[in-house]
């Protein structure tokens, strides 16, 4: 059954917020392309399987809070905030919590996400990674 691109993108965000790596993989095309806010590119569903697992290990409470959804054909944009706790040791120390405005763009092909791009200011988490607060 075909679902709308908006429904696919919402399901993808739901899987991100659940930290469900197998669920994310199931929603990606084999040639999925991820682009982070610095322009770094990761190609392929299998590469992103490891990428999401590593990110959820580093930010175990990562969440996307969508405030607005915009759709144009197969492209869906989510506007809102990203937040989490930088956790190099597995603890959720409130001093390492961060939040930042975010926009995410999904390109949907059928019932799968072929592209996911994040636009966000990563300085809050970068500062924590450098040992600042």
pLDDT > 90: what percent of the chain?
Answer: 84
Provide the CATH number for the domain around residue 53. 3.10.450.50
The DSSP H or E segment spanning 104 is strand 97-109
Instruction: Judge if pTM exceeds 0.85.
Output: yes
CA distances (Å), 30 to each of 26, 40, 54, in order?
Answer: 10, 19, 19
- Number of folded domains in the chain? 1
**pLDDT per position as a tens digit, 51-92:** 999 999 999 999 999 999 999 999 999 999 999 999 988 889
Q: Structure tokens of 92?
A: 């959720």
Strands (E), 25-62: 28-35, 41-43
Residue range of the domain that includes 24: 5-129
């Amino acid at each position: 059954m075909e679902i709308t691109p908006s429904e696919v993108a919402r399901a993808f965000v739901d899987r991100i917020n659940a930290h469900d790596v197998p669920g994310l993989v199931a929603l990606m095309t084999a040639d999925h392309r991820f682009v982070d806010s610095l322009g770094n590119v990761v190609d392929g569903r299998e590469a992103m399987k490891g990428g999401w697992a590593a990110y959820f290990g580093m930010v175990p409470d990562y969440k996307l809070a969508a405030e607005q959804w915009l759709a144009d054909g197969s492209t869906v944009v989510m506007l809102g905030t990203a937040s989490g706790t930088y956790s190099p040791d597995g603890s959720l120390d409130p001093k390492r919590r961060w939040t930042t405005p975010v926009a995410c763009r999904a390109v949907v092909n059928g019932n799968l996400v072929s592209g996911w791009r994040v636009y966000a200011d990563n300085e809050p988490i970068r500062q924590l990674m450098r040992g600042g607060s």
